[in-house]
Amino acid sequence: MRPASEPRTPRDGAALLEGAAPLPREFYARPALVVARACIGKVLVHRTPEGAAAGRIVETEAYRGPEDLAAHSAGGRRTVRTEVMFGPAGHAYMFLLYGMHWAFNIVVASEGKPHAVLVRAIEPVLGLPLMSRRRGVAPERVELTNGPGKLCQALGLDRAAYGMDVCGPQLSLLPGKAGPVGRSPRINVDYAGSWAAKPWRFYERGNRYVSVPPRH
C-alpha cells in the first residue's frame, strides 16, 4: 500500500477522474463537522480553459456560525461577503486571507445555517505542471498546495469562484479514499476565545501536505 506521505502521480489522478461523478448535494447538506471529516480523501477538481487540476483533500476545518465566534458568520452577520454561507449547501464561499490570498470553503448544512468547511490543504494528483506554473513552485515540493492560499492559487480559484456550484462540471469533489484521520484545534483563530480550542480541524495523518503539524 502506498504510504500516505508519498505523492501520487498525474497518471493516478487521471484514473481517479475518469468516469467519476461529482458528489451529490446531499453530501454537503449535513452538519459541518460530519462534512469536514468526510471531505478528507475526496478529490477537489477545478476545470478551466487552461486545463484541469485536482488534488486529494488532506486537511479541512469546520465553521459553524452564528454561535461559532471563529466563523465569518458569527453573530449572524449577513453581508455581501457572507451571503452565500446561508445556503443552499454545495456552493463555494471564497474569501481573502490577510487581504492577499484566496481561501476556498464549501457551504454545508441546511439552508439558513451559515456553516462552511474550509479546505486547508490538498495532495496534488492531476495537472501538476499547470499548478507549478501558477505557483512558481516545483511540482514535487509540498509548498505547491500545503495551505489554503497555496491550493487556491494552484487550482486557479479566486473571486470568480464565489458562489460556484460545487456539484457542477467546473468545480467539484469526486469520490476518494482517506488514510487515518486526526483532529486538532483550528489554525489562527485565537481571537475566537474558547471556540479556538474546539477540535474542528481534520487531517490525514502522516500526509506531508498537511499545512501545520498537529498541536497536542
Residue 22 falls inside a structural domain: yes
| Residue 11 pLDDT greater than 90, yes or no | no
Cα dihedral sign, 171-198-83-212: negative
67-94 pLDDT per residue, tens: 988 898 887 778 878 899 998 999 999 9
What's the pTM? 0.91
Q: What is the mean pLDDT of the chain?
A: 90
**CA distances (Å), origin 39, targets 33, 49, 93, 154, 160:** 10, 26, 16, 19, 23
Question: What domain range includes position 92?
Answer: 10-177
- Domains held by the chain: number: 1
Whether residue 82 lies inside any domain: the answer is yes
Tabulate helix, strand, coil % of the chain (nearest 5): 25, 30, 45
Phi, psi torsion values for 96, nearest 5 degrees: -90, 130
d(CA 111, CA 157): 24
Say if 159 falls within a structural domain: yes
Query: Could you tell me the CATH number of the domain that includes residue 38?
Result: 3.10.300.10
Please report the beta strands in 65-114, taking only residues with DSSP state E, as ranges in sequence order.
92-97, 101-108
Asked if the structure places residue 211 within a domain, the reply is no
